[in-house]
Structure 1
Amino acid sequence: MSQPLGFVHSSFPNHVCHLRKALYGLKQAPRAWYSRLSTRLVELGFKGYKSDTSLFILRSGLDITLFLIYVDDIIVTGSNSTSIAGLIAKLQEDFALKDLGPLNFFLGVEAHTTASGMYLSQRRYISDLLHKTKMHEAKPVTSPMSSSTILSKHSGTSLLDPTSYRSAVGSLQYLSLTRPDIAFAVSKVCQFMANPTEDHWSAVKRILRYLKHTINHCVFLHRDTTFTLQAFSDADWTSCLDDRRSTTGYCLYLGRNLISWTSRKQRTISHSSTESEYRAVAQATAEIVWLQSLLSELGISSSSPPLLWCDNIGATYLAANPLFHARTKHIEIDVHFVRDFVSTNALSISFSFLQRSDCRYLHKALTHGKVQFSQGQSQYPRTPLEIAGAY
């Protein structure tokens, strides 16, 4: 390290400046900001959560105040508006805060509150993305990926400049926060970031055309007092042509609300469809355990254990029967933690031959009719308000 130009001291040429305050943009600035803010919150009586270090809670009698941090963007909510106003006033004594009022827009997500719940939409983000990629005048399509599309890292000719591809796919990843219907398609095109081809770029443009068709769709969170966890898991065995790994898809509901979903390629190759389904069950179980831990810290409990639905009878037997060692000893030990939860009745796994297709679009491309069928089975409501469609 050396002294900056114009600030070199002639008597101490080998000395450096002592930084008294973290500068915005430095690598350690976010950590210093979080340390300063969290210390002040603890002084005010807040308690940090182990399940989510960005969440703080303050309990005062029957009142509760939640403080959620994302770098320098903050959401404050609670049961007593007077307590929230007092908290903001105290923080303004130490920090340059700006109160933006009720939650309407946060990190690219629009929030629209009604008497029955809240709509979360990224409509403005989609519009900006379509203009950025010059796809705002493209012809809309009714599905994010064609069911006949077969993508491989060897298909098509390499793009001369992959920058636009990587930028668009990165934006689509963030858009998946409120759009589970594009999760699989986005996960698929993310696998070719190293060397994208014309075929891969065509798949990205189809996703953008689908977003133009469904720009008003969003996630709806009901005002609900039911806190039962229910999950659906599924897998597409050896779906990747390049390495023959399977694709996991699962989604979780808290009461009627869809709160978590994932579409992800598995890390290892499965020898059978039962093994791939069991790995999907294990990943969904891990998400359930984390959500239970978060709800427990919030003081929310359920009278019944979480229910995990799986459409593979072998995977349900494997989760409950420890006698299949000869056929499953090659599966990693950490996957078998599912059995511990099942044996202690902390988790219930059920088989359904006619499983709802909540997570079907999370592990494979569907036709237009099946996309609509999945949306209908997931009970995604439509609203007559300015947000024209909802998930």
Structure 2
Amino acid sequence: MTGSQPDNAASGQNAHNEKLRALLAPDFETGGNRREIILIPLAAVFMALVIGAVIMMATSVAPATILRSFVAMADGSVGSINAISETLTASIPLVLAGLGIGLAFRAGLFNIGAEGQMVIGGLAAAIASFSITGLPMAVHMPLVLVIGLIFGGIYAAIAGFLRAATGAHEVISTIMLNLISFRLLDYLLRQPFIQKEGRSDPISKAVLDTAELPRLLSFIDPNLRLHLGLFLMLGAVALVYWLLFRSKLGFAFRISGENPDAARYAGIRAGMTIVIAMAIAGGLAGLAGAAQVTGVLGRATPGFTAGIGFDAIAVALLGRSHPVGILLAGILFGALEAGGRQMQVDAGVSIDMISIIQALIIIFVAAPLLVKRALPFLFPAQSKEGADHG
């Protein structure tokens, strides 16, 4: 009996080590099947498009028009230099905000406040862009982006502090902070030091040229809107990947999200981890708002975020909270947005259909068993296992 005790202890230690290695592995999902991780989102997109076509047929849209709408969607997203430019331009804020949401998810936190954090970060960047003058672009532009990042981070840290200090759930607090940010934006845009001269409507002064993100393809066509935020997005993906899977802080985030009891046993301060995770998540969303203001819009207006922060939740879910997955999901959603506009022009199909398709994609990603049942030939091992159990 005494001989079995060391064996049990050794086996328990081995099991613990295996779980630790799985947690440390930079996989899309701890212990997940890579084939399944790749196929389920692809199958979800396919099924969403099929159901979208069925909905259009049910509303008396001719099959030829449906086919033309999908061709127009593809043409509007990747069919030309302008289409690719629009796709990537739309994906930049989605990916940046999605990275913040995904990082928070990894830490076991539900950051529903990316929209509000984008508002605060974008507004702060807009104010800094025209209030700070006399600086060269090499200083002014990064400074404005950093200000947007900082203010977005501070705003999200409020929810993190409330969770750590009082136990207030971050879903409730971030939703309320969203509402506060919307009304705060409306109020501040009417203040004389922010509102554009000669205007009675709430609109900020224009971003100075030295604070604008330069357009990357203006040498081809001045109307191509793709801007320097593309490299900002790629750099953020690489940085968040390193943070999550190569740093001690990222390990603290992931172990806190996977197993809070183990995190406490390891001496990780839960309260501080929550506040830091939310601050970084909000900083990324604030950076998304700043990039949108300085790279695309040129000023702040009511609703300038256009629901991007909410769409970024779907991007993070589709990307399985992995930086590379979020990048691919953000580009997909950017393509749907750019293609949707072309679909409306060429085929006369409402752009609302894109929102329906996006929602269907998330439903299928959130219910992988439904995808496996609908397309069993893609998952033969799971189907066989289910049949054996039956």
TM-score normalised according to structure 1 size: 0.25
Query: Larger RCO: Structure 1 or Structure 2 (Cα < 8 Å, ≥ 6 residues apart)?
Result: 2
TM-score normalised according to structure 2 size: 0.25
Bigger radius of gyration, 1 or 2?
1
Which protein has the bigger helix share?
A: 2
